[in-house]
Amino acid sequence: MKIKFRYVLLFLFVTIGLLTISDKIRIDGYEKYPSQPSKERSSDVYKIYFELTNGASEIDWDRLNGTLDFINKENDCADFRLASLVRILYDFPDQIPNSVLKKIESVLFNFRYWMDEPGGNGMCYWSENHQVLFASSEYLIGQSYPDSIFHNSGLSGKQHMQKAKILILDWLEMRWKYGFSEFYSNVYYSEDIGGMINLIDYCADDSIALKTSIIMDLLIYDVASQKSGNMFLSVNGRAYEKGRKGDPGASFYNITNHLWDSGNSIKPHLNYGFIARKKYTVPPVLIEIGNDKRSVAIKQSNGLNISELKDEGYFGSDNRSIMMQWGMEAFTNHEIIRNSLNYIRDQNLFSNEFLHGFKEMDYTAFRLLHLEGILAYFLNMQTDGLAIQRANTYTYRTNDYSIYTVQNHFPGTNAIQHHVTGMNLGSSFAVFHVHPAIPESRKLHSPNYWVGYGRMPHAVQDENVSLAIYNLPDEKNLMEMDMLHFTHAYFPTQLFDSTLIKKNYAFGKKGSAYCALIGKNDLNLKNQKTDDLIQNGQKTFWIIEAGSAEEDGSFKDFCDRILKNKVRFNDEILTLEYTSGNKDYALKYDDKFSVDALEIDTEYDRFDSPYIKAKRKTSKMEFNFNNKFLLLDFENLVRKYN
C-alpha cells in the first residue's frame, strides 16, 4: 500500500511537472501585438472633418492615408479616428472621390470591431470610452453597408448592427443606473461624446438615438455642475498630469467654450462632432446650471464597487459582465482575475499588448485548482489600483473657486489614475496633493510622479475645507514599484498673484480666490522648482481650505485667520482635528469623519444637489433650476425639457 501511494505521488509530481513545462512552452509562444505603430504617421482625419464642416472648397484627400493606415493596422485608439471618419462618410459622401471611398471601404470591411471577432491586435477595446466608440462605429458602418459582407468577421453589415446594438444598449443602461465609471474625466468624456453624438445624429433606430441623448444629458450635467468657469476639472476616475493641473490647451475646452462661451476658439478634435451635431439640443436647464454663480454643495454617486457586482448581475465572464468589470478597469483584483483570464482565453487576447502579462497566470494547474484569486490576493498587485470603484463625490462650488473630494475612497490602496481631492482657483488652475508612485526621474505613463497615487490618502470634505491623512508603510509590497516617504502638492507659485510659504503652511491668491495648504511637517519647494511643494514623512496630513475676498476680506486677513486655527494630529492613532470658521472637523484614518461632533454620512444617492435629487437606479430623473426643467425616463423613452 505504501509503495502504491508513493507511485501515485510520483505520478502526480511527474504529471504536474510535464504539464507545467508544456504550459511554459505554450505561454512563451504567445505573440504580442504592439499597441502603437513603430513609426509615427500623420493622422489628419480630425482636421479634414473640421475643414469640410467649415466649408473648405478643396480637400487634399491624400492626407487621409495616414489615418487609414493607422486604422487598418488596428493600432490603439484607431476607434477615435474611426468615429470622425464615420462623420465624413455620413455628412459628406458626395465629396469623397471614388478612389478614396474604395480605400476607406477596404479598411472598414477588414476591421476587427470587437474582441470576439477573428484576429488579434494591440487595441484597447474595454475601457468605458472605447466601448461606446467601437460599438457606435460598428453599428453605423453596418447601417451604411447592411448587405455587404465584412471580410474579417464574415458577417453582413446588418449582422454587425445587431451585434453592436446589444453592446450599445448595455453600455447606455450602465450609465443610466450607475453613472460613469471614468467619472468627470476631462480626457475620456471627450471620447464618450465622440461615440454618442454619432449615434444621436445618424442612428436610424429612434429608441437608440433617444436613449443616447438621455445619457448625453447626464454627461453634460456632470460638466455643468463640476466646471469652474470654462475649466472642466474636478475629482476624476481617470486623470493625467495636465488634466489635474488645469491645462489651458485641453481639448475639452471645445465643449465648454462652445456651450458657455461661444466667442472662444474651437479646434479640430474627436469631440468636434459635438460642435457640428445635427440632432442633439442641450436642454437649457443644463446651461443654466453651468452658469450658476451661487455657493452650492453637489453630492453624487458614480459607478459600482467590486463588492456590488455580483448582486447587480455583472460578475461573470460574459460580454456584458466584462464590459462592466473592465469598463471600471478591474482586471487583476482577486475577486475579478479569474473572470478576466476566462474571457482572455475565450477571445484569444493574450497577444494584446495591454493583456499580455496575464499569460503568467495561464497555467493549467492554476485554472483547475482555482488558484488565480488566491495568488492575486496574496500578491496584492499594484495593478489592482486600476480599478475605479464607486465614488461618492463632494464638490463645493462658488463664484470664486471650487473644491472637491471623493469621500473616504479606499485609503491606503494603490491608485493608477485616480484624482481624489483638489481645488480650482477660479478657471485658472488647480492645486492638489498626492503621494507619488515613483520618483520624478522615472518616466512612466501611469502611475507616475504626478499621476495616480502610490498610496491614496483618507480624504474627506465639508464645504470649503478638505482633510486628508496619509499612512505610508515602511516598505513597498512585493509587486509595488516603489515606496517614497514623502507627499507633495502641485502649488504653482509662478501662476499665483501672491504666495506665502511659512513652515507647514502655504497660502496662495489668484484673483479673488484664496487657498491655504496645511501640513504636519514643513512644506518646502523642491530644488529649482516653483510648483512642487514637498512634505516629508510617512504619517502626515494635508488640509486644504478655500476662501475668497468676498468671504474673508484681504488675502492677509485670510492668512492670519488660518494661522490662528487649531490643528491637532496624533500620528500614533492617526486622528486629525481642525477648527476653522466656527466649525470643528475631526477625521480618524480609515474610520469616521465628523463636523461639530456629528458623524458625516458620505455614502451618497445618485444625485443630491440643488438641481436634482435622485436615488441610485431610479426610474426617473428631473433637473430643475431657474424655472427650467429636464425630465428623463430611460426605460420609457421620455425626454422632456423647456
The CA–CA distances, whole Å, from 620 to 219, 278, 607, 632 equal 16, 26, 12, 6
- pLDDT bin (cut points 50, 70, 90) of residue 57 is confident
- The pLDDT value recorded for residue 16 is 80
Can you list the alpha helix ranges (DSSP code H) found in 380-506?
none
Q: Which tens digit of pLDDT belongs to each residue from 189-202?
A: 999 999 999 999 99
Strand segments, DSSP code E, in 384-449 are 391-397, 401-406, 421-425, 429-434
- % of the chain exceeding 70 in pLDDT: 99
- The pLDDT value recorded for residue 603 is 97
User: Can you read off the three cell numbers belonging to residue 521?
Assistant: 511637517
- The pLDDT value recorded for residue 265 is 81
Res. 312: pLDDT tops 70: yes
The whole-number average pLDDT for the span 478-489 is: 96
Strand segments, DSSP code E, in 369-428 are 391-397, 401-406, 421-425
- The pLDDT value recorded for residue 296 is 98
Q: Which tens digit of pLDDT belongs to each residue from 580-599?
A: 999 999 999 999 999 999 99
Q: Which tens digit of pLDDT belongs to each residue from 279-311?
A: 999 999 999 999 999 999 999 999 999 999 999
Q: Which tens digit of pLDDT belongs to each residue from 598-638?
A: 999 999 999 999 999 999 999 999 999 999 999 999 999 99
Helix 284-291 and helix 253-260: axis angle, to 10°? Answer: 100
- The pLDDT value recorded for residue 2 is 55
The whole-number average pLDDT for the span 397-415 is: 98
Distance separating alpha carbons of residues 458 and 477, to the nearest angstrom: 19
Q: Which tens digit of pLDDT belongs to each residue from 235-267?
A: 999 999 999 999 988 999 999 999 998 767 899
The whole-number average pLDDT for the span 347-376 is: 94
- The pLDDT value recorded for residue 3 is 63
The whole-number average pLDDT for the span 137-147 is: 98
Distance separating alpha carbons of residues 571 and 579, to the nearest angstrom: 18
- Residue by residue, DSSP assigns 52-81 as HHTT-S---GGGGHHHHHHHHTT-TTHHHH
639: which strand partners? 632
The owner of cell 445618485 is: 606
Res. 452: pLDDT tops 60: yes
Neighbour tally for 252: CB within 10 Å: 24
Mean pLDDT for all residues in the chain: 96
Q: Which tens digit of pLDDT belongs to each residue from 494-520?
A: 999 999 999 999 999 999 999 999 999
- The pLDDT value recorded for residue 261 is 87
460: which strand partners? 467
Distant-in-sequence contacts of 58-65, Cβ < 8 A, 24+ apart: 59/95, 61/96, 61/97, 61/100, 64/100, 64/104, 65/103
Distance separating alpha carbons of residues 612 and 606, to the nearest angstrom: 10
Which residues, at least 6 apart from 199, have a Cβ–Cβ distance to it below 8 Å? 136, 139, 140, 168, 208, 209, 212
For residue 143, give the DSSP letter.
Answer: H
Res. 234: pLDDT tops 70: yes
The domain spans of the chain are 45-292, 306-385, 388-608
